[in-house]
Amino acid sequence: MITETLRNVFKIGELRKRILFTLMILAIERIGTHIVTPGIDTAALTEGFRDLQDTLFGLYDLFAGGAFSKAAIFGLGIMPYISASIIIQLLGAVIPFFQKLQKEGEEGRKKIMQYTRYGTLGISAMQAFGVAIFLQSIQLPDGRLAVPNPGMAFQLMTMISMTAGTMLIMWLGEQIDDRGIGNGISLIIFIGIISRLPAAITDEWVQFTAGQRGLLAEFMLIGLALAIIYFVVLLTQGTRKIPVQYAKRVVGRKVYGGVNTHFPMRVNTAGVMPIIFAQAIMFVPSTALSFFPDSEFFMAMRGYFSMDSWVYWIIYGVVIVFFTYFYTAIALNPVEVADNLKKQGGFIPGVRPGRKTSEFLDNILTKITLPASIFLAVVAIIPAMLAKWFQIPYSLASFFGGTGLLIIVGVALDFLQQVESHLFMRHYDGFMKSGKIRGRR
């Protein structure tokens, strides 16, 4: 069935070109993650970065696809663009100018995209300067420096190289959106995370062949991974369908409305953003504490904020629950949804239009967000638990949950849904026997 579907994919000329173009762009992006910024001692950098994997720098390296730890020209990854997008989105919730742009349709979207590009350029330049300062500060116990010749010339070169690299990644993502298939930015993050999987599997195979883990334990790990992926898919795809009716309207000789439909309210409206925000916040104390001397007090504080501490897990989970509600409130405004329904002549059966509808939607959103936020917190903590209790390398444990798994599942589902839509338009069966994969929206 799957083999036949893959043949059908490459029978369609347009779809074949889009997939091959997407693969070419992703290959270019991966090549850029191995081109090191001039002036770096790669051996010293690799050794110096080894102790920073569990800090904020390790999180950044995850989204940069390993390019940050190599100080590559793509070392900033796509995070400046994501940061600029989030800032513009938050500004749209409080500043009337951006609110107006969001309501102007396609023209407004183009203007917002242009402001996002400018924001990406500014954020990239500032972050690249900070990275240059950070790289110059790396010194090994034997006296070797990650940057043998520090100074203004190195800082300027790093700013130009990494800023240009980020803008190129952003352009590559837009090319996938226009001429490829799938969401370009999401696919770039996806391929960066997946690139770590072969090395993680190799490390696990070495442990298995060395007798450090038995065959039964390996099968249990595979079963656990499949179970977690199954529940993550349910969380990603889960929706609460709110019934909506539209009143009949007569315009000339045509009758509009009079249909029954539903408003899909996603269980996890916030997506992966709460975990990203929470990780960034939780890594700040551990990153800051790493610069203090090894006194008894600071060593104890580092222990509390290390990823294998139950104190860290509790605080981390609470922060994720908070940000799930926070980002859901930004992503879905019940008042705006109620107003749009009222303007279009729609109403929820048994609920009065206007304020009552917004209160009804807000009540449902609050109820379905609670289990979603708790599940997100559990998924985020699972990798640290596996690494501590079962001595699984964190490079492999990170694929059992956390940000990486949520991004992998979400992007894969979105990619398959777009491929399915192309197949259905040309009367081919999709990847599922039922012939349909539910979209993420």
Is 414 inside a domain boundary?
no
Closest CA to 372 of 226, 230, 231: 231
CA–CA separation, 191 and 162 (whole Å): 19
Domain boundaries, position 95: 15-187
CATH for 183: 1.10.3370.10
Tell me whether residue 438 is in a domain. Answer: no
The runs of H, that is alpha helices, within 33-55 are 42-49
Q: What gap in Å lies between CA 290 and CA 300, rounded to an integer?
A: 12
Give yes or no: residues 128 and 270 share one domain.
no
Summary mean pLDDT of the chain: 81
Whether residue 425 lies inside any domain: the answer is no
What whole-number distance in Å separates Cα of residue 173 and Cα of residue 291?
A: 36
**Is the same domain home to 178 and 214?**
no
Establish if 53 belongs to a structural domain.
yes
Is residue 148 domain-shared with residue 57, that is, in the same domain? yes
Over the stretch 287-316, which tens digit does the pLDDT of each residue have? 677 667 667 777 787 777 777 788 888 988
For 26-81, the pLDDT digits (tens) are: 999 899 888 888 888 888 888 877 766 655 566 667 667 777 788 889 888 888 88
Question: In sequence order, what DSSP letters do the residues of 332-383 get, joined into one string?
Answer: --HHHHHHHHHHTTEE-TTS-TTHHHHHHHHHHHHHHHHHHHHHHHHHHHHH
pLDDT of 119 higher than 80:
yes
Quick count: other Cβ atoms within 10 Å of Cβ 239?
17
Contact at 8 Å (CB) between 77 and 169? Answer: yes
The arithmetic mean of pLDDT across residues 351-360, rounded, is 87
pLDDT at 22: 92
Query: Distances from the Cα of 62 to the Cαs of 25, 76, 138, 398, in angstroms?
Result: 20, 11, 20, 10
One-letter amino acid at 370 equals L
Same-domain status, 213 and 168: no
Whether 130 has a pLDDT exceeding 70, the answer reads yes
Point out the domain boundary residue: 156, 187, 218: 187
Q: What pLDDT shows up at residue 441?
A: 42
Same domain membership, residue 127 and residue 233: no
Cα–Cα nearest to 324, from 365, 268, 380: 268
Give the position of tokens 């922060």: 319
Burial state string for 249-277 with b = 16 or more CB within 10 A and e = fewer than 16: eeeeeeeeeeeeeebebbbbbbbbbbbbb
Confidence of residue 161 (pLDDT cuts 50, 70, 90): very high
pTM for the full predicted model: 0.77
Do 181 and 212 sit in the same domain of this protein?
A: no
Q: How confident is the model at residue 157 (pLDDT cuts 50, 70, 90)?
A: very high
- Residues 166 and 213 placed together within one structural domain of the fold: no
Note whether 125 and 227 are same-domain residues: no
Q: Which residues pair with 347 in a beta bridge?
A: 245
Same domain membership, residue 374 and residue 230: yes
CA distances from 263 to 112, 237, 301, 362 (A): 27, 15, 47, 13
Q: Can you give the pLDDT at residue 9? A: 73
| pLDDT value of residue 21 | 92
The string of pLDDT tens digits covering residues 240-292 is 888 888 776 666 666 655 677 888 888 888 887 788 778 767 767 766 776 67
The residue ranking higher by pLDDT, 321 or 208, is 321
Give the per-residue pLDDT at 156.
Answer: 93
- Structural domains in the chain (count): 2
Residue 193 in domain: no
Specify if 368 maps to a domain: yes
Lowest-confidence segment of 114-128, 315-329, 403-417 by average pLDDT: 403-417
Torsion 202-208-211-212 (CA) sign = positive
Q: Are residues 29 and 132 in the same domain?
A: yes
Give per-residue burial for 395-432: e unless 16+ CB within 10 Å, then b.
Answer: bbbbbbbbbbbbbbbbbbbbbbbbbbebbeeeebbbbe
Q: 71, 50, 78, 66: which is closest to 154 by C-alpha?
A: 71
How many Cα atoms within 13 Å fall on the side-chain side of residue 35? 14
Judge whether residue 4 has pLDDT over 80.
no
pLDDT at 172: 92
Q: Regarding beta strands 260-266 and 239-246, do their DSSP bridges make them parallel or antiparallel, or are they unpaired? A: antiparallel
**Would 3 be classed as within a structural domain?**
no
Taking alpha carbons only, the member of 186, 178, 161, 193 closest to residue 85 is 186
User: Looking at the structure, do residues 336 and 379 belong to the same domain, yes or no?
Assistant: yes
Q: Of 31, 79, 388, 400, which is closest to residue 195 (Cα–Cα)?
A: 31
